[in-house]
Amino acid sequence: MSSDETERQSIEGELLVPQETYMLSGIHIGTEAEIKAMREFIYKVRNDGIHVFDLKKIDERIRIAARMLSHYEPGGILAVAASRFAVRPVQRFSQFTGAVAFVERFTPGLLTNPNLPGYMEPQVILLSNTEGGSQVVSEAALAGIPLIAFCDSNSPIDYVDLIIPMNNRSRKSLALAYWLLARQVLRERGQLGTQEDLPVKPEDFEMESEEGGIE
Amino acid sequence: MSEIRPTITVEFPICNSCRKPITPKERGVSFLCPNCGSYTIWRCKTCRKQGTKYVCPNCGFTGP
């Protein structure tokens, strides 16, 4: 057995899913631009200038985010989809974890104006994209609500309390990340065994191309 | 005879990043450490805006 293969197997033993599953979803592919705060999660820069995330760090952050979410009541978690491909993953995530899903256009004041119909007071927010969800970010800052966000290599991290570094533009990577997060939250709560899986596959979290959603 | 007034001492929470007290008017945030869940981390608005790192004194977790 070659040393590369041994190293790969030892890494796979530590990861939540096999390395190939991560690679096939493209969760590690960043953008050409990077911001300083995301530099610690970057593994390397490819020849074409694309930043590649460290899979171990993605894995570790998903575990930590799940641990953080398990500290809150299911109804106190607000999962917001800020891009088209995050709609279905967010809906499926809330279906399994009991979190409140928000997949429509975010009306300003929903977290800060008590007179507004549909006013919410979540304990923690899980955001799919900080660029698309800038209104959610600013309202979470005003209301003093902890914010967990999926951040790409060029995503702004203002007011984010826990970064999950990953490719947040791809359909497959968002599906895999929400699937892993849902599974890990249930494991942390004790609703799933440490080796048990969700009854559905990551593909079931995937947004279909014909489905509508917020742009 | 002078009246002795009771004194009240108010302790503000301290920001884990900059070590400054967070006043009630300031929109800070508090949450349990994402890693260990046994220590309450406080972050002031400025540190949240700038993305300043915080460290959990209990488990050593560094965020965000």
For A18-28, write each residue's pLDDT tens digit.
999 999 999 99
Task: State pLDDT tens for residues A147-191.
Answer: 999 999 999 999 999 999 999 999 999 999 999 999 999 999 999
Question: Which residue among B34, B49, B61 places its CB closest to the CB of A65?
Answer: B34
Chain B contacts of A184, Cβ < 8 Å? none
- From the CA of A143, how many Å to the nearest CA of chain B? 7
What would the mean pLDDT of A123-139 be, rounded to a whole number? 93
Q: Does A55 touch chain B (CB under 8 A)?
A: no
* Closest chain B CA to residue A157: B51
Cβ contact, residue pair A159, B48, below 8 Å: yes
**Domain A20-190: homologous superfamily in CATH:** Glucose-6-phosphate isomerase like protein; domain 1 (3.40.50.10490)
pLDDT, tens digit, for every residue of B11-41? 899 999 999 999 988 889 999 999 999 999 9
pLDDT greater than 90 at residue A115: yes
| Count of A-B CB contacts under 8 Å | 52
What SS3 state is found at B31? strand
Instruction: Grade residue A215 by pLDDT with cuts at 50, 70 and 90.
Output: very low
Chain A residues close to B27, C-beta within 8 Å:
141-144
State which residue of chain B sits closest to A143, comparing Cα positions.
B27
Q: Do A161 and B28 touch (CB under 8 A)?
A: no
Task: Answer yes or no: is pLDDT of A95 > 70.
Answer: yes
Tell me which of A57, A61, A68 to substitute to probe the interface with B (most B C-beta atoms closer than 10 Å). A68
Domain map (residue ranges) of chain A: 20-190
Cα separation, A27 vs A55, whole angstroms: 8
A-interface mutation test, from B33, B48, B62, most A Cβ less than 10 A away: B48
Nearest to B43 by CA among B54, B35, B56, B34: B54
A213 vs A120, which has greater pLDDT?
A120
Cβ separation of B34 and A64 shorter than 8 Å? yes
Per the CB < 8 A criterion, the answer to whether A144 and B29 are in contact is yes
Q: For this complex, say whether ipTM is above 0.85.
A: yes
- Residue A145 with chain B: CB contacts under 8 Å: 29
